[in-house]
Amino acid sequence: MDVTTPATAPWLIVGLGNPGPEYSMNRHNVGFMVVDLLAERIGGKFKRAGKAQAQVLEGRIGPAGPANRRVILAKPMSYMNLSGGPVNALKDFYKVPVENIVAVHDELDIDYGTLRLKLGGGDNGHNGLKSMTKAMGADYHRVRFGIGRPPGRMQVADFVLKDFASAERKELDYLVDRAADAVECLVTEGLERAQGTYNS
């Protein structure tokens, strides 16, 4: 009987965002940006995933040897607040344990560009996480990319659906690159090492 354990199972790395060019540079889409960069590093193109409402790319991350990991990169195409359905379908199709799932997402409560990695926890009002947790529980990893709080009286919904400001864009490529490094470290070296290196 083939029993898949977290040590031998693939990893499912989910970038959270909204599909469509009008959303591509929104703060809410930084998860897509990080996963797109990981896809560039792997050297492949996303394709539509069967019945799951998502785009996926299969590949490997890490050096040759025991640290090398099979990964499925995914971008749900369902809009943020319905991300859980596609992610759960991919989890079942690829036989990925919940603890081998990584959600890469924007985070309001930490400063712009700051990274925080963790396993499990609440959704902090994030609709993508809320949907994922409802679909499969909360015991998945999160790579939280800080976007800060909205200025003045701007509503949160307006803030996250706006593009990064010009001052933020000057650093964005570097910060997305660092977040992609953090994902790779998490998958190949574990949460504790990734937190020690990238939590700031």
Region at 53 (left for phi over 0; alpha for psi -120 to 50; beta for the rest): beta
Structure letter (DSSP) for residue 138: S
Active-site annotation holds for 105: no
**How many Cβ atoms from other residues are within 10 Å of residue 135's Cβ?**
16
Which residues 6+ apart lie within 8 Å of 33 measured at CB? 15, 17, 172, 176
Amino acid at 127: N
Active-site hit among 28, 105, 126, 141 = 28
* 171 phi and psi angles, rounded to 5 deg: -105, -10
Please identify every residue annotated as catalytic: 28
